[in-house]
A and B are shown apart, each in its own frame.
Chain A
């Protein structure tokens, strides 16, 4: 493991990243707030980046191993330095790191009890990092800095979520630029529409940041319930669905007018939204009228499935039936190649096909049946990855839940907190529920949840590889 090289690249990223702190500084200046937290954060990050850049590696060749380490450690470092402003504003370090990691991984779980009490610059930073994390940091760098493109492909796919069956463009740099362009277009659209509906620009911007990234941080403690406006809720639902869709489909839609419904995963995605919504609507009829039930159920279904995490009511008060469906949705997640988390629809779809095929095979063992996704026949390699991913996901979920229960919490809280952080959803249930924050958890649980968020966003392998000694130590 060429540690110097890994640290050098991370240094380069931190160096450029530090300049992003000027954005909240401008916000602070505009609203006449303290700029020191962000200024100090800038200096620390800048100097740290510079220091790491001084490590000149002997070999500049980035091997697969190093690319993986670069991606996972970049995310860790960036989350770390982003917590500096939070600390300087008064958060305790673990809480600051929690909020920061929750931001970048677009989880949206918060330890802040009174969100409105935070300075606007801090609110800005909190939401902005979700916007960055949604599309990816490595992707951003690949789009802007051509020199990183040398081993760009490996870095890109280590960060980019989901099962990649085909690339939009041959060169990863081009793909990165396209992704960010689409992202910016939708950002502009949502801000405009929200503003037209009466949301002040600042609020509109920050909510757009966290809608498209399916992050879920709000500037209001009551989340979207604050607006109490069905039109706004409808717009947000649409943009959450957009965020949770494979961006390749956006590309084909915007550029060539091709309907996303041609894609199997998208069809399944929408079907899941529809079916789950209907089930929850029916379940909620016992407490809400028809219209209200539709309004809150659809919103919450989409919010949870896309792993955004906005709320319009306290869904913790819903029936157990509704809650278990939501729990399942947390684990399912959105589409691959989107900003959503979870196991991802395509993986579960493929696994389901695979399993049904095994049933058929038991009946007719001699027939050759390849597993297809649309027109593409899936290689064994892809199936292997999906199976391993799913098993690891479930394993981590179980271990995490056991640890939380073991620390004295009830099953619902433990399971939902694990699912919500691993799936980058945000609000859990029970004590970690929608109307609460995560602040009450002890330090070790917060650290566990931070780990979950990190693992979930980077889709497990890149992070877990760091914990295998062989990964670091193998000499040749």
Chain B
């Protein structure tokens, strides 16, 4: 099966890397240096502009199962997407960074003929907003096109849940704790497993149900939220949170940006100021914030803002990073959550490829766990009980999505055809797990 990718930037490169293992991949790129970096990947490269029909023809787009437009230019992505579709590609995905072209993070079935339009900035903003509203949440992932969400929550030292058994937690129906990461180990939680301080737990469930767990997680109420940076991501987060009853402040250094935003945001206080001015931060009492969100254009500035704010007393710092490699670094030096729009784009695209056995390399505890979304299509598996599955050690079937219901798998639960399984396992076991279902 052929996949054509336009653009070898961060996202293009990592997609090519991931997909080349199982599929034929051709990349269209016009920059020599980027082409150089592609050597070593098991792919074919066409030099050219993806919006040019010639380049597309050379890349055999007519045979392509999927075309993915992830150049740095939204317009090129859209153009090449439309062209690719016309020339015969089966499914077409385009990344659009300009929020003026889109109003949702993910658009399926765009009128132009593009099957999937992804705006990573908006997707990132949505992810941030989700993290804000649930205290102690440090990661957030969507599966199955948004039907099921997983939240990674850290149990703080003052949590009322400490020493409580899983069975004692009043989890809403269809919400499951699927895994606990404790002391560098992944534990399969059972009914009598007790939670400890510092545990990072993966909670899975339907989006509507997950929002209910914020009450259970503890009385740490989020009231004061400040967003630094009134750009695409910052303003979108503000728009989402503006409807809630949080005390929201949005800070930007540009008066024109502030003026525009204060017209759109009703409850948010729009403030002009330089985020790196300590006096200003003290004047605005940033130390009293529950959540600080840094979304300025500069990664370095965002880091500085996060650390400054935390040193003044802010409780949680969420930072936008453009460079994916900074994520681990930032989280190491004190940022609570670092999110990258490119990484989100990468994940979203992979998720939406909706192919069986496709790895959705969601990171639980950052690459310690792979979360697989597997559709049960093999007749042989139908009716098999979970306990008979003989899955490798450390593998958990976190949840079964069956006809819009999220089921807690027990040993006795039988798998049916059409079930979508959310399986947590370690990276080494991914192949073994996948082979069970092929």
A152 to chain B, nearest CB (A): 14
CA of A327 to CA of B156 in the docked complex: distance in angstroms?
Answer: 69
A157 CB → nearest B CB, Å: 16
Please indicate the chain B residues that have their CB under 8 angstroms from the CB of A61 in the complex.
Answer: 282-283
- Assembly CA distance A64 to B289 (angstroms): 19
Pair A64/B285 contact, Cβ less than 8 Å: no
B residues 216-267 touching A (CB-CB < 8 Å)? 223-224, 247, 249
Q: Please name the residue on chain B nearest to A2 by beta carbon.
A: B285
**Chain A residues near B289 (CB, 8 Å)?**
476
CB-CB < 8 A to B283: which residues of A? 61, 63-64
CA distance A476 to B288 in the complex (A): 8
Within 8 A of A (CB), among B303-340: none
Closest to B288 in A: A476
Identity of the chain B residue whose Cβ is nearest the Cβ of A65 in the assembled complex: B283
- CA–CA, A247 to B282, complex, Å? 34
Contacts of A476 in B (CB 8 A): 223-224, 247, 249, 285, 288-289
Interface string of A40-74 (1 = CB under 8 A from B): 00000000000000000000010110000000000
* A366 on the B face (CB < 8 A): no
Q: Is the interface of A mostly helix, strand, loop or mixed?
A: loop
Bound-state CA distance A476–B249 (Å) is: 9
Per the bound structure, the CA–CA distance linking A475 and B247 in Å amounts to 9
A11 to B316, CA, bound (A): 37
In the complex, which of the residues A63, A64, A475, A476 has the most CB atoms of chain B within 10 Å of its own CB atom?
A: A476
Complex interface residues of chain A between 49 and 108 (CB less than 8 A to chain B): 61, 63-64
**B380 CB to closest chain A CB, in angstroms?**
60
* Nearest CB of A to B429, in Å: 48
Binary flags per residue of A443-476, CB closer than 8 Å to B gives 1, else 0:
0000000000000000000000000000000011
A157 to B283, CA, bound (A): 17
Number of interface residues, chain B, beta carbon within 8 A: 9
Binary interface profile of B, 150-171, with partner A (CB < 8 Å = 1, else 0)?
A: 0000000000000000000000
Residues of B within 8 A of A63 (CB): 282-283, 285
In Å, the complex CA distance between A344 and B44 comes to 78
Q: Which residue of A lies closest to B225 (CB)?
A: A476
Set of chain A residues within 8 Å of B285, measured between Cβ atoms = 63, 476
With A and B bound together, what is the CA distance between A63 and B286 in angstroms? 13
Minimum CB–CB distance for B69 against chain A, Å: 44
State the total of A-B contacts with C-beta under 8 angstroms: 14
In whole angstroms, what is the CA distance A476 to B268 when docked?
12
0/1 interface trace, chain B 77-111, chain A, CB 8 Å (1 if under): 00000000000000000000000000000000000
Q: Which residues of A contact B282 (CB under 8 A)?
A: 61, 63
User: How far does the Cβ of A60 sit from chain B's closest Cβ, in whole Å?
Assistant: 10
How many angstroms between the C-alpha atoms of A61 and B285 in the bound complex? 10
- Complex contacts, A475 vs chain B, CB 8 Å: 247
Q: Report the Cα distance A476→B223, complex, angstroms.
A: 10
What string of 1s and 0s marks CB contacts (under 8 Å) between B390-415 and chain A? 00000000000000000000000000
Complex alpha-carbon distance, A475 and B249, angstroms: 13
Bitwise, B278-304 to A at CB < 8 A (1) or not (0) is 000011010011000000000000000
Question: Distance in Å from the Cβ of B249 to the closest Cβ of chain A?
Answer: 8
Residue of A nearest to B223 (CB): A476
A65 to chain B, nearest CB (A): 9
- What's the Cα separation between A64 and B285 when bound, in Å? 12
**Docked CA distance A475–B282 (Å):** 14
> Could you tell me the distance between the alpha carbons of A63 and B282 in the complex, rounded to whole angstroms?
8
Instruction: Give bound CA distance, A64 to B271, whole Å.
Output: 14
Query: CA separation between A64 and B224, bound complex, in Å?
Result: 20
Q: Write the chain A residue with the least CB distance to B279.
A: A61
- Which chain B residue lies CB-closest to A475? B247
**Chain B min CB distance to A153 (Å):** 11
Minimum Cβ distance to chain A for residue B316 (Å): 16
**Distance between A58 CB and nearest chain B CB, rounded to angstroms:** 11
The closest CB in chain B to the CB of A62 belongs to B283
Give A61 to B282 CA distance when docked, in angstroms.
8
Listed residue (B224, B247, B283) with the most chain A CB atoms within 10 angstroms of its CB: B283
CB-CB contacts of B120-160 with A at 8 A, as 1s and 0s? 00000000000000000000000000000000000000000
Q: Which B residue sits closest to A63, measured CB to CB? A: B283
In angstroms, how far is the closest chain A Cβ from the Cβ of B326? Answer: 30
Write the nearest CB–CB distance from A429 to chain B, whole angstroms.
46
Least CB distance, A151 to chain B, in whole angstroms: 10
Measured CA separation A61–B281 after assembly (Å) = 11
The complex places the Cα of A64 from the Cα of B223 at a distance, in Å, of 23
* Closest B residue, CB atoms, query A64: B283
A476→B226 CA distance, assembly (Å): 11
Which residue of chain A lies nearest to B249 when distances are taken between CB atoms in the complex? A476
Q: Per-residue 0/1 for B359-395: is the Cβ within 8 Å of any A Cβ (1 yes, 0 no)?
A: 0000000000000000000000000000000000000
In whole angstroms, what is the CA distance A176 to B180 when docked? 64
Nearest-neighbour CB distance to chain A for B315, whole angstroms, equals: 13
Give the nearest-CB partner of B226 in chain A: A476
Complex-state Cα separation, A64 to B249, whole angstroms: 17
Cα–Cα distance between A64 and B280 once the two chains are bound (Å): 11
Complex Cα–Cα for A239 and B417 (A): 100
Name the residue of chain B whose CB is nearest to the CB of A61.
B282
Q: With the chains together, A470 CA to B278 CA distance in Å?
A: 25
- B247: chain A residues within 8 A (beta carbon): 475-476
On chain A, the residues within 8 Å of B223 by CB distance are 476
What chain B residues lie within 8 Å of A64 (beta carbons)? 283
| Alpha-carbon gap, A286 to B285, bound state (A) | 66
Residue of chain A at shortest CB distance from B224: A476
Interchain nearest-CB distance for A316 vs B (Å): 50
Residues of A within 8 A of B288 (CB): 476
CB distance from B221 to the nearest CB of A (A): 13
Residues 172-212 of chain B, each 1 if its beta carbon lies under 8 Å from chain A, else 0:
00000000000000000000000000000000000000000
User: How far does the alpha carbon of A71 sit from the alpha carbon of B247 in the complex, in Å?
Assistant: 29
Give bound CA distance, A61 to B223, whole Å.
Answer: 23
Min C-beta distance of A37 to chain B, whole Å: 43
Q: How far is the CB of B6 from chain A (nearest CB, A)?
A: 47
Can you list, as one digit per residue, whether each of A404-437 has a CB less than 8 Å from chain B (1) or not (0)? 0000000000000000000000000000000000
Q: Nearest chain A CB to B246's CB is how many angstroms away?
A: 11
Residues in chain A near residue B224, CB distance under 8 A: 476
Proximity string of chain A (287-327) to chain B, C-beta cutoff 8 Å, 1 when within and 0 when not: 00000000000000000000000000000000000000000
Interchain nearest-CB distance for A402 vs B (Å): 36
Please give the distance in Å from A59's CB to the nearest CB on chain B. Answer: 8
Docked pose: A61 CA to B287 CA in angstroms:
12
A9-35 contact mask (Cβ, 8 Å, vs B): 1 or 0 = 000000000000000000000000000
Closest chain-B Cβ to A62's Cβ sits at a distance in Å of 9
Binding site for A on B (CB under 8 A): 223-224, 247, 249, 282-283, 285, 288-289
Question: Can you list 10 contacts pairing A with B, beta carbon distance less than 8 Å?
Answer: A61-B282, A63-B283, A63-B285, A64-B283, A475-B247, A476-B223, A476-B224, A476-B247, A476-B285, A476-B289
**Which residues of A come within 8 Å of B, CB atoms?**
61, 63-64, 475-476
Q: Which 3 A-B pairs have the closest CB atoms?
A: A61-B282, A476-B224, A63-B283
Supplied contacts A61-B282, A476-B224, A476-B289, 10 more A-B pairs, CB within 8 Å: A61-B283, A63-B282, A63-B285, A64-B283, A475-B247, A476-B223, A476-B247, A476-B249, A476-B285, A476-B288
